[in-house]
Amino acid sequence: MPHVKVVILAGGQGSRLAEETEIRPKPMVEIGDRPILWHVMSIYSRHGFDDFVVACGYKGEMIKQYFSDFFHHHSDWMIDLGSGERTVIRQSTPDWRVHLIDTGAEAMTGGRLLPLANLLDETFMVTYGDGLGDVDIRALVDFHRAHGKLGTVTAVHPPARFGALELDGDRVSVFSEKPQTSVGWINGGFLVFEPSVLGFIRGSESSLERDVLEALAAAGELMAFRHEGFFQPMDTLREKRVLEDLWHSGHAPWIA
């Protein structure tokens, strides 16, 4: 399969998760002992896509520091304190290439792509730094290439905000605390674009959703890849706990 870069929008403030994001950027909020950004990247890596462009913004220095220290935190090594020389004994680091680009503290989701234009000269993918799913990324790219349009959005079923009740009269016969519904479709991220899509972005204030995706749809250039499986964003503490519970259960759908 031809080389395809993966852009991860990691610059927003995540105000609805303020308890966590006052001290760190949202993509660095941890699920288990790993930032959700690592989980997102692992989804793509499982399907053979290992070239990432992280669009940093709010507290982006913490994301840069994480990757700067990544090798040493995920390897065993010996240091000669006299010379400062380090010898690697064992490493367990993924074979990823990660571009870390500051796209501005205030830029909108579409505007964050403009500073990356020189890196996006062929088909590329875009997703958010806070949504996890068991999306078949290779099938998504194949679908995009087959239809020949400028953009593809992955359509997912929306997350369930409340527990679902089945009633028998006034008696609750079934209570189901499911992470998502099976009705309707929303934008789940996991997008694929051709480089000419960048021409739809006016400036840093452009929204990927309101400006770019709406314009592509109006022009007949946006197709939907339907994902019937697991999808869960992390917009609230409740949703963070849902993802944490799945991770600690040992059956996290986005990794399995």
Statement: residue 233 has pLDDT above 60? yes
Chain-centre distance of CA 222, in angstroms? 20
Q: Which residues contact residue 73 at a Cβ distance below 8 angstroms, ignoring those fewer than 6 apart?
A: none
What is the model's pTM? 0.89
Q: Which residues contact residue 6 at a Cβ distance below 8 angstroms, ignoring those fewer than 6 apart?
A: 41, 44, 49, 51, 52, 53, 124, 125, 126, 127
Report the share of the chain in percent with pLDDT over 70: 93
Q: State pLDDT tens for residues 129-140.
A: 999 999 999 999
Domain annotation for the chain: domains and CATH numbers: 5-249 (3.90.550.10)
Task: Compute the average pLDDT of residues 19-43.
Answer: 90
Q: E strands within 40-188?
A: 51-56, 75-79, 86-91, 97-102, 124-128, 131-133, 151-156, 164-168, 171-176, 186-187
Task: Compute the average pLDDT of residues 217-236.
Answer: 93
CB 254 within 8 A of CB 39: yes
Among 17-26, 47-56, 220-229, 234-243, the minimum mean pLDDT is found in: 17-26
